[in-house]
Chain A
């Protein structure tokens, strides 16, 4: 079919361009702008080339934070994805209890991040917190303020508590969309429980699972508020994740250049890892 060519049609995409420019491109460009300049105040800027990028990449402090960040996201995904699937498989499919469970599952998702941090901060305190005090009373040497392992454990448990229900709810939606005939056919084919999961439930969940993995990866990789409220990045630098470090650089020390370079690298790392997840998880789908 012949389509008429009319260049005035470009005007129709103008509103979107303007919107995206203000919401994303212009703010990002200011960051790019800072990342290649240095300043000594008085609004005087000097060209610094890729110097800040060099500095950020060479910084042991930032490298250590990146390592912690990757470890944290890996732990979070390794726990929340299987756990979420497991919970979804065991949620009631219909009836009164299905609604009750759905509401209960959604509750943690409704709590603001800093409140979650505060809740666990109090909950884990050895002197007055229910968790901390109970653990101490049982003879465990638990103290998230002094002990890096305890601090990590608390943050991981807090994140699992906060976000596993998101994974579970997504998987639950995926499971609900499987017609009964599939389960009936599996019973007739004498498929084992594992085969039903492997060949029916998992493939049907793969779409939502991809979303769950990406969301949980990005969120955990950018985590800030909860550990900031709970441990403030300590003890020492044990729980200083990338965003906490970034905020210290940008706002604490007002080092705009390094912070801008840091932000851009941070952004690219998230983009890269998300792309890898997406490619790996959809590769199987497109195979003949």
Chain B
């Protein structure tokens, strides 16, 4: 096991990349701590799989280095890296039995038969296939096959890291939850570094201690699920994490005040005079509706309610501030005022973005 460091890494699928647009993976430097449970989150085509394949050695990056501990493994083949990887679609060896499938990575490494048998039995119990060990893998259902793939990924105990590339896509919802829980407890038990690629935020947030959000070949933020929620460093994070995503309103910012659609709101600190496209971000959880005149501190924002959606234990209010959409998320028991025409954001949860990147207050902010 080892810490994994990506040093000034970049990758392009073109032989001679010119502009930044030619890179599937923009230059990045980051460290994956030994034993961490990471989720790599982003929409399709953002470079998640490319990054994963570079770590596992299936791809050699065009630039930069990959370090396992202090060892440079950039050009080492997969076999020399001692990595396990589970793919999006089940990969099983059709002609082998389930048992042989699970034993295959161990056999190839010359482990003694007795230890293989013991390990296979353990893993089979873990994925719930102990009674199907002698069946041929061909003809099993897709989720049974994917469980075998997962099992093959976990069967080796000495791996540097286990990489999961959207492994639960083909699994049915009930099984998904169960397997995710198992992966989590497995992580606690053995302490492997696990990197879990997904485009499903629930999956990422429940699995990982650290979530790495990618957008257009760039890591836009890495942090705990709580940090991503409380303080998105990039508008993409705000929009991608949380349901519904963060509200973004075009605004004019002067010091500790913002002017949105003619109304003024207080900001949690002095933000100077940010340049570029300036937006105010606020999560729907931190906006409350109000009736005319009753909002405090400048009366909030003028708001025109368009729709109320009931989603079980929450209600979503959709409407507009000026011509920009705004949503609010309210607990089910929160009484709705009769004539809603203001939206009042909670000052402490307001964020300022310039050209999509977060602008911290000039005076610095307290760490929370």
Q: Which A residues contact B (CB, under 8 angstroms)?
A: 179, 181-182, 184-185, 187-192, 195, 199-200, 203-204, 284-285, 287-288
With A181-B88, A181-B89, A288-B136 given, is the CB distance from A190 to B95 under 8 Å? no
What B residues does A190 contact at CB under 8 A?
79, 105, 108-109
In-complex Cβ contact of A187 among B79, B89, B138 (8 A): B79
Q: A184-B53, A188-B78, A204-B94 are in contact. List 15 more A-B contacts (CB 8 A).
A: A184-B56, A185-B85, A185-B149, A185-B152, A187-B77, A187-B78, A188-B85, A189-B108, A189-B152, A191-B108, A199-B94, A199-B95, A200-B93, A284-B95, A288-B136
- In the assembled complex, 30 residue pairs joining A and B whose CB atoms fall closer than 8 Å, in A order, are A179-B91, A181-B88, A181-B89, A181-B91, A184-B53, A184-B56, A184-B78, A184-B85, A185-B85, A185-B91, A185-B152, A187-B58, A187-B77, A187-B79, A188-B78, A188-B83, A188-B85, A189-B104, A189-B105, A189-B108, A189-B152, A191-B108, A192-B108, A199-B93, A199-B94, A199-B96, A203-B93, A203-B94, A287-B136, A288-B136
What B residues does A195 contact at CB under 8 A?
108
Q: Taking CB as reference atom, which chain B residue is nearest A195? A: B108
What B residues does A200 contact at CB under 8 A?
93
What A residues does B85 contact at CB under 8 A?
184-185, 188
Q: Taking each of B94, B96, B109, which has the highest tally of chain A beta carbons within 10 Å of its own beta carbon?
A: B94
Q: Taking CB as reference atom, which chain B residue is nearest A196? A: B93
Contact of A288 with B56 in the complex, beta carbons under 8 Å: no
Contact of A288 with B135 in the complex, beta carbons under 8 Å: yes
The answer for the CA separation of A192 and B58 in the assembled complex, in Å, is 16
The answer to whether B213 has its CB under 8 Å from any CB of chain A is: no
What B residues does A187 contact at CB under 8 A?
57-58, 77-79
The answer for the CA separation of A185 and B91 in the assembled complex, in Å, is 7
Residues of chain B from 48 to 92 with CB closer than 8 A to chain A in the complex = 53, 56-58, 77-79, 83-85, 87-89, 91
- What are the nearest 5 A-B pairs in CB distance? A185-B91, A189-B105, A190-B108, A181-B87, A199-B93
In-complex Cβ contact of A184 among B58, B93, B94, B105 (8 A): B58
What interface size band does chain B fall in? 20 to 34
Contact of B95 with A185 in the complex, beta carbons under 8 Å: no
What A residues does B53 contact at CB under 8 A?
184
Q: Which B residues contact A (CB, under 8 angstroms)?
A: 53, 56-58, 77-79, 83-85, 87-89, 91, 93-96, 104-105, 108-109, 135-136, 138-139, 149, 152
What A residues does B104 contact at CB under 8 A?
189, 191, 199
With A287-B136, A288-B135 given, is the CB distance from A188 to B93 under 8 Å? no
What A residues does B136 contact at CB under 8 A?
287-288
What B residues does A191 contact at CB under 8 A?
104, 108
What B residues does A199 contact at CB under 8 A?
93-96, 104
What B residues does A287 contact at CB under 8 A?
136
What B residues does A181 contact at CB under 8 A?
87-89, 91
Q: How far is the CB of A232 from chain B (nearest CB, A)?
A: 46
Q: Taking CB as reference atom, which chain A residue is nearest B80? A: A190
The answer for the CA separation of A200 and B149 in the assembled complex, in Å, is 14
Q: How far is the CB of A34 from chain B (nearest CB, A)?
A: 48
Contact of A188 with B56 in the complex, beta carbons under 8 Å: yes
The answer for the CA separation of A192 and B109 in the assembled complex, in Å, is 10
The answer for the CA separation of A287 and B138 in the assembled complex, in Å, is 9
What A residues does B78 contact at CB under 8 A?
184, 187-188
Q: How far is the CB of A14 from chain B (nearest CB, A)?
A: 39
What A residues does B95 contact at CB under 8 A?
199, 203, 284
The answer for the CA separation of A92 and B79 in the assembled complex, in Å, is 24
Q: How far is the CB of A184 from chain B (nearest CB, A)?
A: 5
The answer for the CA separation of A287 and B77 in the assembled complex, in Å, is 37
Contact of A188 with B84 in the complex, beta carbons under 8 Å: yes
The answer for the CA separation of A203 and B105 in the assembled complex, in Å, is 19
The answer for the CA separation of A203 and B108 in the assembled complex, in Å, is 19
Q: How far is the CB of A179 from chain B (nearest CB, A)?
A: 7
The answer for the CA separation of A185 and B78 in the assembled complex, in Å, is 10
The answer for the CA separation of A200 and B91 in the assembled complex, in Å, is 10
What B residues does A284 contact at CB under 8 A?
95
Q: Taking CB as reference atom, which chain A residue is nearest B108? A: A190
Q: Taking CB as reference atom, which chain B residue is nearest A198? A: B95
Contact of B89 with A179 in the complex, beta carbons under 8 Å: yes
The answer for the CA separation of A191 and B105 in the assembled complex, in Å, is 7
Contact of A285 with B87 in the complex, beta carbons under 8 Å: no
Q: Taking each of A185, A191, A192, A199, which has the highest tally of chain B beta carbons within 10 Å of its own beta carbon?
A: A185
The answer for the CA separation of A132 and B93 in the assembled complex, in Å, is 49
Q: Taking CB as reference atom, which chain A residue is nearest B77? A: A187
The answer for the CA separation of A189 and B155 in the assembled complex, in Å, is 10
Q: How far is the CB of B42 from chain A (nearest CB, A)?
A: 20
